[in-house]
Amino acid sequence: MKQTIYIDVLLAVNIFINYFLLLAAAKFLAVRRIRLRILAASILGAAYSLTMLLPAIPMVLALLMKLAMSASLIFIAFPWGGKKQFLKSLACFYIMNFAFAGFMMAIWYFISPQGMIIKNSIVYFNISPIILIGSTAVCYVVIRLIYRFIGKHEVSGGCCTVTIVWKEKTVECNAKIDTGNSLVEPFSHYPVIVMELEPLSEVFSKHLCTFFQEKKWEYPSNTAESEEIPKIRMVPFQTISGVGVLPAFAPDKVVIKSAKKQIETEDVYVAVCQEKITSDGFKALLNPDLFSQGKETVMGRKC
């Protein structure tokens, strides 16, 4: 029996699924997520789905095409972090695809929806938008739960030391890896380290400490010795007690040392907090995404 394929449904379904699969992979890998890049990759993947309209493609050729397209999606969606990180992202993306495919096969087995077609390794669902959105959302939540259960960030005790390098000065303090810290600088989408002002006084001048203590960052043009003032970005945050913003600056470099690895990166912002962050001696809270970027050293060897 012939079945009708609607191109608009085919494209919409694949954009929607690709977007959430890439988003889930990015979350699982803790890589920096730029949603416009993920959307662009999703659209490219949807365009590839039009191969379903072609005559049957030999299995080997279809496999090679699928691998090439998957690699292209990862290259577009995620920032380049080297060959090792690229292969890890590609493998994770395939794992997400297999998980989603298994979930869809379960739906097929138990519900047997009409209008489901698989051709040239492309899946077409002629199903209602509500079922599609609901199924994808459930699958995404399941993947997130697995992510939380596995505990991606295995750094010993969730503790490390962080070294901030700024204007040829350095400061080191104890930091806590906070899985609840998903702060990013709004324009660059770089992950943010929240750090108390007190340890930063080792690299800041007296005037610059006053600049932050008295919240003069709200009116930087009225501040004396403005040549010392770094370019401030306001980072919004939300807690149980309310919402607010923190002033953040871009350091020259940040070095993070844990029991198992060392990370060096320049793609980071440091948000300055005038109050104590924790009561257990930590002076900074790290965004876990920092552990998937920059130059990584494991057991004394560079990766």
pLDDT tens for the chain, 303 residues: list them. Answer: 566 666 777 787 788 888 888 887 877 776 666 778 888 998 998 888 887 777 777 878 878 888 888 899 888 888 776 787 788 888 888 888 777 767 666 666 665 555 566 555 566 666 666 766 676 677 667 666 665 555 444 444 467 889 999 888 899 988 888 777 778 888 888 889 999 999 998 888 888 888 788 776 655 554 445 546 678 888 888 766 667 888 899 999 999 987 677 888 888 999 998 888 876 778 899 888 787 666 666 545 454
How many Å apart are CA 194 and CA 273, to the nearest integer? 7
Instruction: Based on the fold, state whether residues 244 and 280 are members of the same structural domain.
Output: yes
Instruction: Based on the fold, state whether residues 180 and 246 are members of the same structural domain.
Output: yes
Model pLDDT, residue 143: 63
Instruction: Based on the fold, state whether residues 43 and 143 are members of the same structural domain.
Output: yes
How many Å apart are CA 66 and CA 58, to the nearest integer? 12
What is the helix, strand, coil percentage profile of the chain, to 5? 45, 25, 30
Instruction: Based on the fold, state whether residues 50 and 176 are members of the same structural domain.
Output: no
Contact 164, 270 (CB under 8 A): yes
Model pLDDT, residue 85: 75
Q: How far apart are the first and last CA of the chain?
A: 55
Does any domain span residue 176? yes
Model pLDDT, residue 196: 92
Phi-psi bin for 173: left (phi > 0), alpha (psi -120 to 50), beta?
beta
Model pLDDT, residue 164: 93
Domain count, the chain: 2
Instruction: Based on the fold, state whether residues 171 and 138 are members of the same structural domain.
Output: no
How many Å apart are CA 229 and CA 38, to the nearest integer? 35
Q: Which of 125, 150, 175 is the last residue of a domain?
A: 150
Instruction: Based on the fold, state whether residues 138 and 180 are members of the same structural domain.
Output: no
CATH number at residue 188: 2.40.70
Q: Quote the domain boundaries for residue 44.
A: 7-150
Instruction: Based on the fold, state whether residues 179 and 289 are members of the same structural domain.
Output: yes
pTM given for the model: 0.53
Q: Where are the alpha helices (DSSP H) in the chain?
A: 7-29, 35-48, 59-77, 83-111, 129-150, 197-200, 206-213
CA nearest to 121, candidates 42, 45, 25: 45
Instruction: Based on the fold, state whether residues 23 and 100 are members of the same structural domain.
Output: yes
Instruction: Based on the fold, state whether residues 238 and 124 are members of the same structural domain.
Output: no
Model pLDDT, residue 238: 77
Model pLDDT, residue 290: 80
